[in-house]
Chain A
């Protein structure tokens, strides 16, 4: 157990290093020359050379990378090209809004996914099951920006139940969270369904029925806990989906989080900000996967004994 977790920890660190290597290459080598970009159009060759020296671009690649990793460890994600400030404070200032949105999105996703998944599994093969599975397909096939605009059109512009955009009250969260959650809810419903069907087939479930327990009791307190494991393993992948969705949702709803920051940076080709958000997201994904690894033994004692 401890060995397994320690190995996962080391792996996580290695993956983060790899992520840093890729962002480093993208950040410093894909654009023609960052020094030229920073110096601007009217810069003399001397100025460019000075900036290059200042950024350490005249050093060997490996030294530059070590330097880059070193500054990352100090929380230095570089400076924005357009805003002329450090990237990290920009991201940190907007992180809480994104976390609120993600938390609300996860609530929507899990609530919808679990409910529909369980219902489909219990009445599998029937009309309800097929309708739910069809709906889940529609969910995973929906372009998020269209869902966002549709919800805005119906519930904000036409019915006026929710504000068009902005941030602050609970009413502002509802539509963005729905948009973010619906896509994942489709995946969750399918996952929960197939995991539940597997569990419901097993002998101990039949025993529970035979003991005379109510159907609800068997499904919710006997079968469901055992079906949850594959769903917990999804957390990491899920956070990745969410980080992608956040950009679209925040752009459409004007939600002041890191997704919007990234979106604004796209318009101005402000690469350090895009990379900063990418790094923070990758960190979130790796942490999510680790969290799933650490939670799994508590949910399933079989893993603990391995």
Chain B
């Protein structure tokens, strides 16, 4: 609660929170908000020349090249993009926590191996690895989410590792151990709670990264496959019309930007609040 109150007090974080809440509500209540089905190729959805319609009272965001209502596609796309963003990032943070914690706590051979593997993953350009994986596997919503999780856990693992190493040296851990506490008890009761701020901060910042990565993969045609809408593939489908129908590209583009920006702003504010020593860093 204290965290929330402090968040609301910062204008940039408040802006982020408002945008995120709006996007979340729009995604959840999409079927009740829109007047047209996202897949419906409306008979009056194109002009007489067959061009998509610009934004108007009836079609808030205009229509796309197949005469579908862009507003409904963007709202249903929000579902896809947010599900992927949240699931992929949740899995990535979980893997990162597990690897970083084990490596930092066990050290020795296992710890070294885990961290070398993390270094190895750092050497892969994230997008290219995701592209390779997505190209090899048949892309579906869940595959895309897993691919993104597989390339995004590395940073969390490194940070958790450094923090765990520091924690293990602390006296209260030694005290616990002298009292006879087992590894499980120390990890879950004494180390994990200290890692929660990091997990929360990266859990928020990471959503921005995953939403952007999903959009990029879909834009390259290897993410979520049409006709299921996602913010990236809406742009992918109409990128060659961006001169004649700019709204098709720039409305979803602006929404991707606003969403990623909001999660970044909230994450940055959370880091300030939860860990004052990191203030102003990225």
Contact = CB atoms under 8 A, between A and B. Distances in A.
A19 B124 contact: yes
Interface stretch (B42-50, B85-93, B181-189, B216-224): B216-224
B132 A274 contact: yes
B97 interface: no
Contacts of B212: 141, 143
B125 A143 contact: no
Contacts of A278: 124-125, 128-129, 132
A240 B119 contact: no
Contact of A243 (B128, B222, B235, B257): B128
A248 B123 CA distance: 19
B260 A141 contact: yes
A237 B123 CA distance: 8
A271 B136 contact: yes
A269 B135 contact: yes
Contacts of A289: 123
B281 interface: yes
Interface stretch (B62-70, B72-80, B99-107, B246-254): B246-254
A129 to B, nearest CB: 10
Decide if the interface of chain B is mainly helix, strand, loop or mixed.
helix
Interface string B111-135: 0000011011011111111011101
Contact of B253 (A26, A146, A187): A146
Most buried by A among B243, B256, B268, B282: B282
Contact of B120 (A15, A134, A193, A275): A15
A157 to B, nearest CB: 5
Contacts, number: 150
A145 B261 CA distance: 16
Contacts of B264: 137, 140-141
A190 B242 CA distance: 32
Interface string B148-159: 000000000000
B256 A263 contact: no
Nearest to B239: A149
A61 interface: no
Contacts of A248: 127, 216, 219-220
Given A19-B120, A143-B257, A191-B282, A157 B243 contact: yes
A98 interface: no
Interface in A246-294: 247-248, 251-252, 262-263, 265-267, 269, 271, 274-275, 277-278, 281-282, 285-286, 289
Contacts of A281: 124-125, 128
A281 B125 CA distance: 7
A282 B136 contact: no
Chain B CB within 10 A, most for which of A30, A146, A191, A274:
A146
A38 to B, nearest CB: 15
Contacts of A274: 128, 131-132, 135
Contact of B220 (A18, A134, A187, A266): A266
B84 interface: no
* Residue among B119, B123, B253, B257 with most chain A CB within 10 A: B123
Given A142-B257, A247-B128, A281-B125, A30 B243 contact: no
Interface string A191-209: 1011001000000000000
| A: contact size bracket | 35 or more
A26 B280 contact: no
B243 A285 contact: no
A18 B216 CA distance: 27
Interface in A108-150: 134, 137-138, 140-146, 149-150
B241 to A, nearest CB: 11
B17 interface: no
A71 interface: no
A55 interface: no
Contacts of B222: 266
Nearest to A265: B135
Interface of A: 11, 14-16, 18-19, 22-23, 26, 30-31, 134, 137-138, 140-146, 149-150, 152-153, 157, 187, 190-191, 193-194, 197, 237, 240-241, 243-245, 247-248, 251-252, 262-263, 265-267, 269, 271, 274-275, 277-278, 281-282, 285-286, 289
A-B pairs with lowest CB-CB distance, top 9: A244-B127, A146-B253, A141-B260, A141-B261, A243-B125, A18-B120, A190-B282, A30-B136, A281-B125
7 contacts: A23-B132, A26-B132, A142-B260, A145-B239, A146-B257, A240-B126, A285-B122
Interface of B: 12, 116-117, 119-120, 122-129, 131-133, 135-137, 208, 212, 215-216, 219-222, 232, 235, 239, 242-243, 246, 249-250, 253-254, 256-257, 260-261, 264-265, 268, 280-282
